[in-house]
């Protein structure tokens, strides 16, 4: 144990703004704010406050943070940038180590990690990618086996074909896209948990999923966009 043993987790890749703190003695706190229907995410306004609240809940402050874990996406471009930029700034300001991890790993950890309902079984993370597409991330050997491939996109009407191509049937699918396409998934024999909380990023699960990941320099922790942005600067198009 170091003299700065607290781990802080941050994720803004999805519409939810998520922060969590884990301290020695199994003390942990997760804070999440989900925008109401029709509202825009409040990542910039909410993230630091949620992080401070989580730290306070475990009896810690910024000076106790030795490691920061940030979700890298995929998700919304603006959301991912807010989370990664904030995590980089906090790591530099407080001298903490920084770890980046794919956001779907947190969803998979909560569903198939140790003690989870689908422990060790194949997990498919399905996220709404907008543009009538879905982000898929496949954990065929459970969370312990890691993701066999990086996240990829499929059109809405291509989900059934993507399931058929996986080879090993998923035991469970989680994520906001899994909720939206429950009928397609359950029709293929994939379980989709009823509890909406199973489909939101859990900050403590994000931290657990990154437990074995090495610390990187803040500048080396980069967003996982998967695809190009809708708007591309004129100079880049040229």
**69 and 10 in contact (C-beta within 8 Å)?**
yes
Residue (of 132, 129, 155) closest to 228 by Cα position: 129
pLDDT score of 229:
56
pLDDT score of 113:
93
pLDDT score of 145:
63
* Strand partners for 69: 9, 99
3-state secondary structure of 117: coil
Along the chain (238 residues), what's the average pLDDT of each consecutive run of 10 residues? 84 97 93 93 97 97 97 95 97 96 95 93 95 95 69 96 93 97 97 95 95 89 80 38
pLDDT score of 228:
67
Separation of alpha carbons 216 and 200, rounded Å: 26
pTM: 0.91
pLDDT score of 152:
95
Q: Beta strand 17-23 with 6-11: parallel, antiparallel or unpaired? A: antiparallel
The 10s digit of each residue's pLDDT in 129-181 is 999 999 999 999 888 765 545 799 999 999 999 999 998 899 999 999 999 99
Backbone angles phi, psi at 218, to 5 degrees: -50, -40
* Nearest-10 Cα torsion for 179, 181, 187, 192: -20
Please name each of the domains of the chain with its CATH number: 6-103+202-237 (3.30.420.40), 104-199 (3.30.420.40)
């Amino acid at each position: 144990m170091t003299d700065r043993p607290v781990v802080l987790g941050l994720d803004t890749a999805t519409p939810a703004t998520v922060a969590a703190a884990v301290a020695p003695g199994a003390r942990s706190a997760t804070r999440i704010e989900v925008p109401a229907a029709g509202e825009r995410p409040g990542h910039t306004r909410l993230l630091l406050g949620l992080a401070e609240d989580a730290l306070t809940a475990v009896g810690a402050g910024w000076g106790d943070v030795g490691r920061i874990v940030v979700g890298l996406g995929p998700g919304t471009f603006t959301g991912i940038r807010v989370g990664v930029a904030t995590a980089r700034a906090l790591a530099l300001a407080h001298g903490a180590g920084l770890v980046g991890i794919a956001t779907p790993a947190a969803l998979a950890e909560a569903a198939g990690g140790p003690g989870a309902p689908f422990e060790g079984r194949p997990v498919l993370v399905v996220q709404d990618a907008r543009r009538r597409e879905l982000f898929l991330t496949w954990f065929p050997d459970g969370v312990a086996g890691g993701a066999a491939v990086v996240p990829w996109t499929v059109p809405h009407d291509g989900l059934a074909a993507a399931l058929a191509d996986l080879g090993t049937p998923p035991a469970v699918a989680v994520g906001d896209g899994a909720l939206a396409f429950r009928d397609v998934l359950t029709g293929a024999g994939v379980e989709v948990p009823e509890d909406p909380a199973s489909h939101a990023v859990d900050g403590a699960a994000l931290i657990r999923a990154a437990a074995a990941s090495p610390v990187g320099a803040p500048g080396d922790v980069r967003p996982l966009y998967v695809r190009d942005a809708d708007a591309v600067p004129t100079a880049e198009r040229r």
